[in-house]
Structure 1
Amino acid sequence: MIRIENVTKTFTLHNQGGAVIPVMTGAELVVAPGECVALTGASGAGKSTLMRMIYGNYLAASGRIMVGDVDVARGDPREILQMRRHVLGYVSQFLRVVPRVPTLDVVAEPLLAVGVPGDQARERARDLLGRLRIPETLWGLSPTTFSGGEQQRVNIARGFAHEFPAMLLDEPTASLDAANRETVLGLIEEAKARGAAIVGIFHDEAARDRVCDRVVDVTGFSPQVAA
């Protein structure tokens, strides 16, 4: 479902005379449906960079990044947007939403975007918000007013609302209490059971051991190591 082949990434420092910094070379990864792969490595090794390339936020310098039948490294913006809408979900650490939109609609939006009727989309949103212990009294308010922990749980609910065939998870259990951590791990297990291919960053080792089938150390893709 997710296939990365010989991917290279560089950054150009335009404020330093256009210096080109190689940050990743020869990256290879295959994630099958129903499999969860954890990216590991020291801070700065390239875990987040690789996730952002899979999502299309960073452009690969060379190689292929296949998500379903879309090559993210070569796809045009319209293809990337369609892929994000229908195929690849991304649960980041930060909630970015339009102010004044009620929380219920924030969570339902990914379903509405793919044509799910409004009543069904909001019912799914209610279920997820309830499971993640967001008080019903808050559902009509904008999550921009919420605490950091509440925003994280809204972000998780939004990310799991649509049954994406592939998912990217960036520290999904960070800073959660035991009950909500258990809920999130359950959501990941449910996604795997229905066949989602998942790539994630998990600094929570116990969570990683429970839900991840393999660990890939991205340090092996460092240009210094590859050399």
Structure 2
Amino acid sequence: MIRVADVSKSFVLHNQGGAVIPVMGGASLSVAPGECVALTGNSGAGKSTLMRMIYGNYLVNGGSIVVGGTDVARAAPREVLALRREVLGHVSQFLRVVPRVPTLEVVAEPVLAAGGTREAGLARARALLARLNIPEALWSLSPTTFSGGEQQRVNIARGFAHDFPALLLDEPTASLDAANREVVLALIGEAKARGAAIVGIFHDVGARERVCDREVDVSAFVPERAA
């Protein structure tokens, strides 16, 4: 479902004379339906960089990243947007939404974007918000007014609203209390059970051991001159 093959990435420092800094080379991994693979490695090894390349936020310098038949490394912007609507979900650490849009609408939006009905989207949003212990009194408010922990849970609800065939999870249990951590781990388990291919960054070792089938050490892909 997700296949990364011989991917390389460099950054150009335009404010430093155009210096080229290689940060990744020969990155390869595959994730089958129903499998969760954890990206590991020291801070700065490139875990987030690789995840951003899979999502299409960073361009690659070489190699291929195929998600559900689409090579993200070569796809046109409209193809990447279609992939994100229908195939590839992403739970980031930070909630970025349009101000003043009610939380219920924020969570329901991925269902509507994928072609679901408004009724189905709102029903799914209500179920997830309740499950993640967001008080119903807050559902009509913009999540931009919420606490950090509440925003994180809204972000998780939004990421799991549509049954994406592939998911990217960036620290999904960070800063959660024990009860909500269990809810998120259950959601990940359910996504695996329905066949989702998942790539995640988990500094929470206990969470990683519970939901991940194997680990890929991204440090192995750091070029020697960038190490």
Task: Read off the aligned partner of 2:4 and give its amino acid letter.
Answer: I
Determine if the alignment matches structure 1 residue 96 to structure 2 residue 96.
yes
Unaligned runs of 5+ in 2: none
1:145-182: CA deviation from partner (whole Å, max 9, x where unpaired):
00000000000000000000000000000000000000
Distance in 2, matches of 1:65 and 1:76, equals 13
Matches within 5 A, 1:28-47: 28-47=28-47
- What's the CA shift for 1:115? 1.6
Partner of 2:112: 112
Residues 12, 20 of structure 2: 8 Å contact kept: yes
| Cross-structure match for 1:23 | 23
Contact kept in structure 2, 1:108 and 1:121, CA below 8 Å:
yes
* Alpha-carbon offset, residue 186 of structure 1: 0.1
Instruction: Give the TM-score of the pair, scaled to structure 1.
Output: 0.99
Q: Secondary structure at 1:144's aligned position in 2?
A: helix
Query: What are the within-5 Å matches in structure 2 for residues 80-159 of structure 1?
Result: 80-159=80-159
Q: 1:226 to 1:95 in 2, by over 3 A?
A: closer
Structure 2 partner of 1:56: 56
Counterpart AA for 1:186: A
What is the match of residue 186 of structure 1? 186
Structure 1 position 114, deviation (Å)? 1.4
Residue 119 (structure 1) shift: 1.0
Give CA deviations for 1:63-103 in whole Å, capped at 9, x if unaligned.
00000111000000000000000000000000000000000
Provide the rounded CA distance (Å) in 2 between the counterparts of 1:31 and 1:119.
33
CA deviation string 1:195-218 (max 9, x = no partner) = 000000000000000000001100
The answer for the alignment partner of 2:201 in structure 1 is 201
- Give the drift of 1:20: 0.5
Find the residue that maps to 1:159 and give its secondary structure: helix
Q: Does the aligned pair in 1 maintain the 2:21–2:226 contact within 8 Å?
A: no
Question: What secondary structure, in the 3-state scheme, does the structure 2 residue paired with 1:176 have?
Answer: coil
2-structure distance, mates of 1:85, 1:120: 16
SS in 1 for 2:34: coil
1:225 CA drift (Å)? 8.2
* Partner SS, residue 28 of structure 2: strand
CA distance in structure 2 between the aligned counterparts of 1:95 and 1:187, rounded to whole angstroms: 18
* Aligned residue identity for 1:50: L
Q: Secondary structure of the residue that 2:176 maps to in structure 1?
A: coil
Q: Is the 8 A contact 1:219 1:225 kept in 2?
A: no
CA distance in 2, matches of 1:226, 1:126: 47
In structure 1, how many angstroms separate the alpha carbons of the residues matched to 2:115 and 2:51?
A: 27
When normalised by structure 2's length, the TM-score is 0.99
Q: SS of 2:158's equivalent? A: helix
- 1:8 alignment counterpart: 8
Q: Which residue of 2 aligns with 1:67?
A: 67
Deviation at 1:226, TM superposition (A): 10
Do the aligned residues in 1 keep the contact of 2:2 with 2:66 (CA within 8 Å)?
Answer: yes
Contact 1:220-1:226 within 8 A present in 2 as well: no
8 Å contact from structure 1 (residues 45, 218) kept in 2: yes
Counterpart contact for 2:22–2:226, Cα < 8 Å? no
**Percent identity (aligned):** 76
Runs of 5+ unmatched residues, structure 1 = none
> 2:6 and 2:120 mapped to 1: Cα distance?
42
